[in-house]
Chains A and B, each alone.
Chain A
Amino acid sequence: MSTNLRLFRFASPAAFYPLAGRLVPWFAAVAAILAAIALYLGMLRAPTDATQGDAYRIIFIHVPAAWMSMMLYVVMAFWAAIGWAFNARLGSIVARAIAPTGAMFTFLALWTGALWGKPTWGAWWVWDARLTSELILLFLYAGYIALVSAIDDTRRADRAGALLAIVGSVNVPIIYFSVIWWNTLHQGASVSVTAAPKMASVMLLAMLLMTLAFWAYAFAVIFVRTRAIALERDNHAAWAADAVARAPMRQGASS
């Protein structure tokens, strides 16, 4: 009983607001440090690729960004569903806070993919399964953002957005398996759970560290946005006025 209470304590925006505030600087610091190490390994230590030359170095942001774009979509759909099913307001707030960051990573995956495709395939863009399904992911994020901001009734908007997010999540496995299911120009997975990675270990390490850096970045940015949305929504609630009065700008020192 008491563990239950403790577990769900942070499900209320009032409790989550100061917690997120305390965590943000740590996530930001971890993101900066890991990104610096990943860049050092990827740009300075990793050898030139035998077939792709130095163009392959785009991989250190392309693959982490693409992974983030898919993972964040799943996380967004999950919290949107929680917010809908259990009428948990924080779930819906977090889902909304994730969408712009997910869209940003999707854009980055497409952008870096175009800049990688040109020198290696000779084309900025091809309508192959991997690229097209990733573009659809960008439209899903954009559609979610447009839908929730178009409906005035906040909780109704949350529910409509949750439906879109849940239905759209069918696209994520399609992106992931597209290089297996169809003949695509895009190369297959460089890293998988079942096989040894098809790349030098220093390259793999740089890519994984960059992925962790992107995760930490995403947590920091999403938590700040969650706090902002929580205040915007509860701007007549006593906790919001208290939270702002207690911590003058910057941090959230309190209990």
Chain B
Amino acid sequence: MNWNSAADFFAMGGYGTYVWGSYAVALACMAVEPILVVRRHQRARRELQGASR
């Protein structure tokens, strides 16, 4: 383990903005995309169910 404290970890040796800016956007993209595809799939299912009734 190379961090002495949580503050140390979040500072990333002075590169916090760059490192966390990268990880935050990656996390956001990979959280939003699954939500969007699941919604698209559910919409397609709903339309089929509506059509069959």
Contact = CB atoms under 8 A, between A and B. Distances in A.
Bound pair (A, B): yes
Interface of A: 28, 43-45, 47-48, 53-55, 57-58, 61-62, 65, 100-101, 104, 107-108, 111-112, 115-116, 118-119, 217, 220-221, 224-225, 227-228, 231-232, 235, 240-241, 244-245, 249
Interface of B: 1-3, 9, 12-15, 18-19, 21-23, 25-26, 29-30, 33-34, 37-38, 40-45, 47-49, 51-52
B26 A112 contact: yes
Contacts of A55: 12-13, 15, 18-19
Given A48-B2, A101-B33, A62 B40 contact: no
Given A58-B22, A241-B48, 14 more contacts: A45-B1, A54-B14, A55-B15, A57-B15, A58-B18, A62-B22, A115-B18, A115-B21, A224-B38, A225-B40, A227-B44, A231-B45, A235-B47, A235-B48
Contact of B52 (A48, A61, A245): A245
A231 B22 contact: no
A interface majority secondary structure:
helix
B22 A224 contact: no
Q: List the 3 closest pairs (A to B, CB-CB), nearest first.
A: A54-B13, A231-B44, A55-B15
Contacts of A53: 13-15
B5 to A, nearest CB: 13
Contacts of B22: 58, 61-62, 111-112, 115-116
Contact of B45 (A104, A107, A111, A249): A249
B33 A100 contact: yes
Contacts of B3: 44
A57 B12 contact: yes
Contacts of B13: 48, 53-55
A65 B26 contact: yes
A5 B11 CA distance: 58
7 contacts: A54-B12, A55-B15, A55-B19, A57-B15, A108-B29, A228-B43, A228-B44
